[in-house]
Amino acid sequence: MRAEAAASLETGSPPVPTHVAIIMDGNGRWATKNGVSRSKGHRKGADAVKEAIHGAIDNGVSYLTLYAFSSENWNRPPDEVRDLMGLLRMYLKREIRTLSKEGVKLQVIGRRDTLSEDIQDLIKHAETETRHNTRLTLLVALSYGAREEIAEACKAIASRVAEGSLNVADISERTVEEALYTASIPHPDLIIRTSGEKRLSNFLMWQAAYAEFSFLPVLWPDFTRQSFSDAVIDFQTRDRRYGARP
Ligand code: FPP
């Protein structure tokens, strides 16, 4: 039985998702709707990140993953990529102390080697500063793509076979699991996507196998901790059977 289901049986309270992952979408449309630059839309989007973190803490969620920059986002115009990297830099410099005070442990998943060196250093620093926190683990997906994650896992497994430390017959789901960026992180129970789009967009493809989905019409900069709570309430109405029958 899953941790969240076991806990709710014991307490009689509705299950709280252990891990919520969010595809933060709609910054550009919010900017157009409000007659401001895309850059401003992304800045407002960064403010909404705080709402999501508070929503997770309010609801007793243990893991929150935010899709902040995909492998494909590198194909956006250079000015926009620069803006997004600037926001990330600012976030990592200014928010880490607050996150730490709130008991948040930060971890980055994705191809961090493709980020500029100063950002890689800021990430390392943030991960070290927050490593002992236990209230919420915040995974930020940066330069992340699920296909790339799975291909990287295949490469790592093939290397172990080639060097003779792993037999082909011993490769299992667990072997793959342990080779992913999210090794040791429970799979997301709930994936939220804002802006009304209904796609996974190369996000946590392996890990999403039994996730519940919540597609919200709200544009990401308008997302609030209440939006988070509403999605959790909706999650609590779902009947999760993992392919089995009672
Ligand atoms: C999607 O909106 C959002 C992104 C590509 C980036 C998400 C980034 C943030 C929320 C801000 C920075 C985050 C951190 C962690 C500091 P879009 O531009 O695709 O919107 P559109 O589909 O309406 O054009």
pLDDT in tens, 23-78: 999 999 999 999 999 999 999 999 999 999 999 999 999 999 999 999 999 999 99
CA 107 – CA 149 distance, rounded (Å): 16
Per the CB < 8 A criterion, the answer to whether 68 and 24 are in contact is: yes
Q: Which residue has the tokens 């493709």?
A: 114
23: part of which helix (H) or strand (E)? strand 19-23
**Which residue ranges in the chain fall short of pLDDT 70?**
1-12, 246
**CB-based burial label for 45 (10 Å; 0-12, 13-18, 19+):** buried
Active site residues: 25, 73
Alpha carbon distance 194, 218 (integer Å): 6
State the amino acid at position 212 in one-letter form: E
| Residue 36, pLDDT score | 98
Ligand 1 atom nearest the C-alpha of 46 is 11
Tell me if 27 CB under 6 Å of ligand 1: yes
Best probe residue, ligand 1, of 119, 220, 227 (max atoms within 8 Å of C-beta): 220
State which ligand 1 atom lies nearest to the alpha carbon of 84. Answer: 12
User: Which atom of ligand 1 has the smallest separation from the CA of 80?
Assistant: 18
Residue 145 CB less than 6 A away from ligand 1: no
> Ligand 1 in contact with 216 (CB < 6 A)?
no
Ligand 1 atom 3 nearest Cα: 25
Among protein residues, the one with the nearest Cα to ligand 1's atom 7 is 68
pTM of the prediction?
0.94
